[in-house]
Amino acid sequence: MSPFIWLLGALVAGVAAYLVGWPAWGSYRSREARDLNAERYLAWRGRAPRGTERSTREGMTGEERRRIWSGAALAVLTVICLLAFFATT
């Protein structure tokens, strides 16, 4: 098998990892920033919940979690393809 097929596989898997994982990570981070801004605004207005420190943050959705794990798996595949490329050249 030609070593350049491994390099092409690494390139395709790397691009796929980026396209799958990055939008999910970006949406998670933007939602966290919005939630933090909402908490600060409520505290500034004096309407923050008193007593126990309760956060309005939800964490990742199931879809975001699946997309990030898929992106991570594709990134691992990228590394494996790169290692195979270097081993065959």
Q: What is the pLDDT of residues 41-66, one digit of tens each?
A: 777 777 777 655 555 567 788 999 99
Contact 60, 68 (CB under 8 A): yes
Q: How far apart are CA 43 and CA 49, in angstroms?
A: 8
Question: Tokens 């290692």 belong to which residue?
Answer: 83
pLDDT one-digit tens code per residue, 19-38: 999 999 998 888 887 777 77
Query: Does residue 38 lie within any of the structural domains?
Result: yes
Q: How far apart are CA 42 and CA 11, in angstroms?
A: 46
* Domain count along the chain: 1
Query: Does residue 36 lie within any of the structural domains?
Result: yes
The reported pTM is 0.74
Query: Does residue 53 lie within any of the structural domains?
Result: no
Contact 64, 24 (CB under 8 A): yes
Query: Does residue 28 lie within any of the structural domains?
Result: yes
Q: Is the dihedral of CA 76, 3, 85, 88 positive or negative?
A: positive
Q: Which domain does 36 fall in, by range? A: 3-48+59-88
Query: Does residue 73 lie within any of the structural domains?
Result: yes
